[in-house]
Chains A and B, each alone.
Chain A
Amino acid sequence: MLSSHLRQRMGGLIPHVILLAYILLALFPIFLIVINSFKARKAIFGMPYQLPGSETFSLIGYETVFSRASFQQYFVNSLVVTVVSLATILFIGAMAAFALSEYRFPGNALMGLYLSFGIMIPIRLGTVSILRLMVGLGLVNTLGALILVYIAQGLPLTIFILTQFMRQVPHELKEAARIDGASEYRIFWLVLPLVRPALGAIGIFTMIPIWNDLWFPLILAPSDKTATVTLGVQQFLGQFVSDWNAVLASLTLAMIPILVLYIIFSRQMMRSITAGAVK
């Protein structure tokens, strides 16, 4: 009796053991980088697994990073590119989604299909022509080039998902507003707040690939003045390969903003992936 009870409890433990082991595998490398970034060079090599103590603590890596690389500039660049792209994607994406969900007109289905073509085809494959276009527009080495490309990249999925959500907004509401003489634009403004949860969720998973992208900053805006954090870190790491303190510090600095955002918004993000998958 006892043994079967015990076996049952052991059986219940096994999933936890496997999951915890996997979590260790997923987080230990990140953890090692972060703790070692706060240590003196000798301790990084001598005692890599120990937390920084009073004797081993050092911020030398961070000092090098801040004196040698324009990190503040990179952060501002990433922030500008991400915020402006995201706000535009959500706004003009919502407009198109509203029109797709609200009006029946010839070509509606075709328009929806056209706009969703980009969900599966990566925009990177058009890079040769994108670069020519940006050269022609005089936008190479500007943040504007990145913003335009990221808007185009983010729109298809945003429109696709928002259209589904906007279809669920009750008709009575819109009809009542129309009877009161509201214009179509006014009705759009009424509907927008109603899909706020969807906007938030789409915002989070549109933001991450923009912040993390290496390809377009590398090709369209590689100058030091326009480098994003991802590109800045990549170039800095290339130059300072042998300065372990600086390498570990710059990796930690690049990870922190996205991890903080992730921890704050992880619940919404999971829910949005869930919602997207169910659709």
Chain B
Amino acid sequence: MTSPDTRRPFPTHILVFFIPAAAVYTVFMVYPLLDSVRLSFFAESGNSEAFAGLRNYATLLANPLWAPRFWGALRNNFLFFAVHMLVQNPVALLLAALLAAGGRARAVYRTLIFMPTVLSVVIIGFIWQLILNPLWGIAEGMLKAVRLGFLFQPWLGQQSTALATLSLISVWQFVGIPMILFYTALIGIPEELSEAARVDGATGWDIFWRVKFPLLLPTVGVVTILTFVGNFNAFDLIFTIKGGLAGPEFASDIMGTLFYRTFFGFQLQLGNPTMGATVATAMFLIILSGVLLYMFLWQRRVTTYEF
């Protein structure tokens, strides 16, 4: 990195290179994010907005009309995240390990498994709505074919199963991303390490957990934080299948749908921009604490090896 510019009076070209990107990014991303935080301290009064201190937050966290919705959405969002951590990421690791084991077909397998991931969440939502629809009877018919027909229920419609079903649909769609990340990390591990362990008499199982998995820990961290940010920003799937009310009885309401309903309004509920900004700021703080935890607790302790 030489700096030919130190000799020149003023490096105008540096400004020219930065201005377009910095301007659009600042005006349409950084400013709105900061302005939303500012708005969360204001409340509508008549036609203007007046400073309200922390009153919006008090309303969100403790008002009997708002608080159940907020805590419910937060709880559901953590459940949504838990399903992804317990199902999506282990399945992704299994698929990645199988793919990394080799075989000529693996490029084809990888391409096919990743396919649902590139489709719009709206399409995926409708596809599963149709498949699980008792009217069409695809899911029920398949269960009957293996004599498990009695297990069938309208999973998307029941309060007790809606959220879990939606989470699994999301897992089904996005398993490709952690799979590719794990796969990439796995094929980056030098063969000599496994070979040395094998000579020492280790089984394939031992090699995976004792030799390879510790080397995957940085990827486990990346996958976890990506899942966390993605899940706490999710909206499309639940809105597509359950609408803005995230029913039944808010059983599938997460932060994204709560945010939409709050600031934009839905059906009978009027939109409230300042309360919307408060929900957004709460989401911002949740995501930010996740990112900071990852950076300071995980990334610092886990050693990354370069081969």
Q: Which residues of A contact B (CB under 8 A)?
A: 15-16, 18-20, 22-23, 25-27, 29-30, 32-33, 44-45, 48, 92-93, 95-96, 98-99, 101-105, 111, 114-115, 117-118, 120-130, 132-133, 148-149, 151-153, 155-156, 159, 171, 175, 178, 183-185, 188, 208, 211-212, 214-215, 219, 229-230, 233-234, 237, 244, 247-248, 251, 254-255, 258-259, 262-263, 266-267, 270, 273-274, 277-278
Q: Are B126 and A251 in contact (CB under 8 A)?
A: yes
A123-B29, A133-B27 given; 20 more Cβ-contact pairs under 8 Å: A16-B103, A27-B116, A29-B128, A95-B17, A96-B17, A118-B30, A124-B233, A125-B283, A125-B287, A148-B28, A171-B2, A214-B120, A214-B239, A214-B240, A234-B240, A237-B122, A251-B126, A254-B122, A270-B107, A270-B111
Q: Are B2 and A175 in contact (CB under 8 A)?
A: yes
Q: Which residues of A contact B31 (CB under 8 A)?
A: 126, 129, 133
**A278–B189 CA distance with the chains assembled, in angstroms:** 12
- Shortest Cβ gap from B82 to chain A (Å): 20
Q: Does B50 contact A (CB under 8 A)?
A: no
Closest Cβ neighbor of A123 among chain B residues: B29
Q: Does B197 contact A (CB under 8 A)?
A: no
- Shortest Cβ gap from B205 to chain A (Å): 12
B 27-57 binary contact with A (CB < 8 Å = 1; else 0): 1111111011001000000000000000000
Given known A-B contacts A16-B103, A45-B136, A259-B115, A95 and B219 have beta carbons under 8 A apart: no
> Which residues of B in the span 98-123 have a Cβ within 8 Å of any Cβ on A?
98-99, 101, 103, 105, 107, 109-116, 118-123
Closest Cβ neighbor of B122 among chain A residues: A234
Q: Are A230 and B120 in contact (CB under 8 A)?
A: yes
Chain B residues within 8 Å of chain A by Cβ, number: 87
B 119-162 binary contact with A (CB < 8 Å = 1; else 0): 11111001110110000111001000000000000000000000
Stretch at the interface among B67-75, B206-214, B245-253, B272-280: B272-280
A129's partner among B118, B259, B277 (CB-CB below 8 A) is: B277
Q: Are B219 and A277 in contact (CB under 8 A)?
A: yes
Q: Which residues of B contact A152 (CB under 8 A)?
A: 24-25, 27-29
Q: Are A121 and B119 in contact (CB under 8 A)?
A: no
**Does more than half of chain A's interface fall in helix, strand or loop, or is it mixed?**
helix
Q: Are A118 and B25 in contact (CB under 8 A)?
A: yes
Give how many A-B residue pairs fall within 8 Å (CB-CB).
248
Closest Cβ neighbor of A178 among chain B residues: B4
**Does more than half of chain B's interface fall in helix, strand or loop, or is it mixed?**
helix
Q: Does B61 contact A (CB under 8 A)?
A: no
Given known A-B contacts A156-B25, A214-B122, A22 and B113 have beta carbons under 8 A apart: yes
Q: Are B3 and A133 in contact (CB under 8 A)?
A: no
A130's partner among B28, B119, B136, B288 (CB-CB below 8 A) is: B28
Q: Are A128 and B98 in contact (CB under 8 A)?
A: no
Q: Are A105 and B14 in contact (CB under 8 A)?
A: yes
**A258–B125 CA distance with the chains assembled, in angstroms:** 16
A159's partner among B21, B111, B281 (CB-CB below 8 A) is: B21
**A169–B136 CA distance with the chains assembled, in angstroms:** 57
**A127–B45 CA distance with the chains assembled, in angstroms:** 21
B126's partner among A105, A127, A219, A237 (CB-CB below 8 A) is: A237
Q: Which residues of B contact A122 (CB under 8 A)?
A: 229, 233, 287
Q: Which residues of A contact B233 (CB under 8 A)?
A: 122, 124-125
Q: Are B33 and A121 in contact (CB under 8 A)?
A: yes
A120's partner among B17, B177, B229 (CB-CB below 8 A) is: B229
Q: Which residues of B contact A153 (CB under 8 A)?
A: 29
Point out which of A26, A123, A244 has the most chain B C-beta atoms below 10 A from its C-beta.
Answer: A26
**A259–B113 CA distance with the chains assembled, in angstroms:** 13
Given known A-B contacts A96-B18, A126-B33, A133-B28, A273 and B181 have beta carbons under 8 A apart: yes
Point out which of B20, B25, B101, B126 has the most chain A C-beta atoms below 10 A from its C-beta.
Answer: B25
Q: Does B1 contact A (CB under 8 A)?
A: yes
Given known A-B contacts A23-B112, A33-B130, A247-B130, A95 and B120 have beta carbons under 8 A apart: no
